[in-house]
């Protein structure tokens, strides 16, 4: 049988299959609920908890299920399949690359995560207008280019927004997991100390981030671009008091980084480690540039934005292939490469379960 999942957000059509599943289950339970959701929302957020072996689905039920999927294909928005069978979840993840909408498989113990994911609507193009309280936190734009890369999620319940915000703070601090958040097409990130040794745990002011941008890296950075963390904080501003206040902001957190020389173990300078000369900037942008990761929550909405400021290609005083590389990569960065680099990261921070 198929029954409606109880206690789920109103913008999700959720079902649980147990025992034998027949065509009548779809006719009397699934189809009417799906039609109601499409009429109300224009698209379908769908959770299907398969708590029965596939052999218990009658052939008629499967035929009607497939027919319905094809007929209303363009209206699927987010589809979560929950099952203890890895094969079902794997198939769901695979078809996400082939069909419109988003499809994701979850194990049974992550049913709540599946419901939260399906009920959350993402907006990849929030307003580009920078609020005054955010502008006050950013370096002043005086030269070069500025970029703004953002995504936001709107949850059905405020407690879900709190969960997503707190989880995103932890992810921002865990730099070594940024690569996993980005996916396979993005740069690689590693947290390092001032002697060039890998660090574990939360990022702090003074730590370095080694960035493995696809393609050749600068010789000065031994094949990597480098930034140094200069701010990690929960800004205290008027109106951010945990209850919205004048700005409507219930939570705020930021990390700011700046292009830097690669850290040295001091071997070339008498073993002084962090006291060694700083050396040239090992990044495709000059050290005037900053990237500020700002995470904020307003009620049921959570937004994350990377603000790039003063982005100038790092070519002055740089010789040889690094100069050519930085001119090309830095210029592309000013018109969009930085946005490509950060887009997958901000999406992963907020959306990935």
- Residue linked to tokens 């290609």: 313
**Whole-number pLDDT of residue 270:** 37
The angle subtended at Cα 325 by Cα 281 and Cα 186, nearest 5°, is 85
For residues 75 and 87, state if they share a domain: yes
For residues 310 and 195, state if they share a domain: yes
Average pLDDT over residues 239-256: 72
pLDDT above 70 covers what percent of the chain? 72
Q: How confident is the model at residue 273 (pLDDT cuts 50, 70, 90)?
A: very low
**Whole-number pLDDT of residue 311:** 87
For residues 104 and 240, state if they share a domain: no
For residues 263 and 281, state if they share a domain: yes
Average pLDDT over residues 45-70: 70
Tell me what the pLDDT averaged over the chain comes to: 79
Is residue 253 predicted with pLDDT exceeding 60?
Answer: yes
**Whole-number pLDDT of residue 340:** 54
Burial of 307 (0-12, 13-18, 19+ CB in 10 A): buried
The domain tally of the chain equals: 2
Q: What is the 3-state secondary structure (H, E, C) of 11-44?
A: CCEEEEECCCECHHHHHHHHHHHHHHHHHHHCCE
pLDDT in tens, 295-346: 999 999 999 999 999 988 888 877 767 776 666 566 555 444 455 567 777 7
Is residue 185 predicted with pLDDT exceeding 50?
Answer: no
Strand boundaries in the chain, DSSP class E: 2-4, 13-17, 44-50, 76-83, 102-106, 121-123, 145-154, 188-192, 208-212, 225-233, 251-259, 290-298, 301-311
**Whole-number pLDDT of residue 231:** 97
Q: How confident is the model at residue 277 (pLDDT cuts 50, 70, 90)?
A: very low
Pick the more confident residue, 209 or 36. Answer: 209
For residues 174 and 27, state if they share a domain: no
Is residue 268 predicted with pLDDT exceeding 60?
Answer: no
Alpha carbon 153 to chain centroid distance? 10
For residues 126 and 102, state if they share a domain: no
For residues 165 and 136, state if they share a domain: yes
Q: How confident is the model at residue 245 (pLDDT cuts 50, 70, 90)?
A: low
For residues 28 and 52, state if they share a domain: yes
The answer to whether 300 touches 258, Cβ cutoff 8 Å, is: no
Average pLDDT over residues 28-42: 85
Question: Lowest-confidence range among 47-56, 176-185, 302-311?
Answer: 176-185
Which pTM value belongs to this model?
A: 0.62
Question: Could you tell me the CATH number of the domain that includes residue 139?
Answer: 3.30.530.20
Average pLDDT over residues 98-104: 64
Average pLDDT over residues 151-179: 92
What domain range is 138 assigned to? 122-351
Domain limit, last residue, from 119, 144, 159: 119
Mean pLDDT is highest, among 132-136, 183-187, 243-247, for: 132-136
Partners of 313 in the β-ladder: 285
For residues 32 and 144, state if they share a domain: no
pLDDT in tens, 105-148: 888 889 988 888 888 765 554 556 788 899 999 999 999 888 88
Q: How confident is the model at residue 232 (pLDDT cuts 50, 70, 90)?
A: very high
For residues 184 and 97, state if they share a domain: no
**Whole-number pLDDT of residue 40:** 82
Q: How confident is the model at residue 27 (pLDDT cuts 50, 70, 90)?
A: confident
Average pLDDT over residues 67-78: 62
Domain limit, last residue, from 119, 142, 173: 119
Pick the more confident residue, 151 or 335. Answer: 151
Average pLDDT over residues 67-85: 70
The angle subtended at Cα 307 by Cα 166 and Cα 223, nearest 5°, is 95
For residues 221 and 290, state if they share a domain: yes
Domain limit, last residue, from 54, 84, 119: 119
Q: What is the 3-state secondary structure (H, E, C) of 243-282?
A: CECCCCECEEEEEEEEECCCCCCCCCCCCCHHHCCCCCCC
For residues 141 and 270, state if they share a domain: yes
């Amino acid at each position: 049988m198929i029954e409606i999942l109880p206690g789920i957000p109103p913008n999700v059509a959720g079902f649980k299959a147990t025992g034998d599943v027949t065509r009548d289950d779809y006719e009397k339970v699934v189809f009417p609920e799906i039609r109601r959701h499409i009429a109300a929302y224009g698209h379908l957020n769908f959770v299907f908890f398969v708590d029965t072996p596939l052999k218990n689905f009658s052939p008629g039920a499967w035929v009607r299920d497939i027919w319905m999927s094809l007929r209303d294909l363009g209206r699927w928005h987010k589809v979560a399949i929950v099952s203890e069978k890895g094969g079902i979840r794997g198939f769901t993840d695979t078809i996400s690359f082939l069909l419109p909408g988003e499809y994701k498989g979850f194990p049974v113990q992550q049913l709540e995560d599946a419901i939260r994911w399906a009920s959350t609507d993402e907006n990849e193009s929030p307003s580009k207008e920078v609020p005054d309280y955010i502008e006050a936190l950013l370096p002043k734009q005086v030269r070069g280019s500025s970029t703004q890369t953002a995504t936001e999620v709107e949850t059905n319940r405020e407690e879900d927004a709190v969960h997503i915000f707190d989880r995103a703070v932890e992810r921002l601090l865990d730099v070594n997991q940024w690569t996993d958040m980005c996916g396979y097409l993005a740069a690689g990130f590693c947290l390092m100390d001032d002697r060039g040794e890998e660090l574990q745990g939360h990022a702090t002011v003074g730590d370095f981030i080694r960035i493995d941008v696809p393609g050749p890296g600068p010789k000065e950075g031994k094949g990597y671009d480098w930034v140094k963390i200069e701010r990690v904080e929960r800004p205290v501003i008027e109106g951010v008091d945990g209850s919205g206040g004048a700005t409507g902001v219930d939570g705020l957190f930021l990390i700011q980084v700046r292009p830097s020389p690669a850290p040295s173990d001091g071997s070339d300078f008498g073993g002084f480690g962090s006291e060694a000369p700083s050396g040239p900037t090992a990044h495709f942008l000059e050290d005037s540039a900053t990237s500020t990761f700002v995470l904020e929550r307003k009620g049921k909405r959570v937004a994350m934005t990377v603000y790039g400021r003063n982005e100038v290609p790092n070519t002055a005083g740089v010789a040889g292939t690094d100069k050519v590389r930085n001119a090309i990569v830095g210029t592309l960065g000013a018109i969009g490469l930085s946005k490509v680099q950060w887009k997958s990261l901000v999406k992963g921070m907020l959306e990935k379960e």
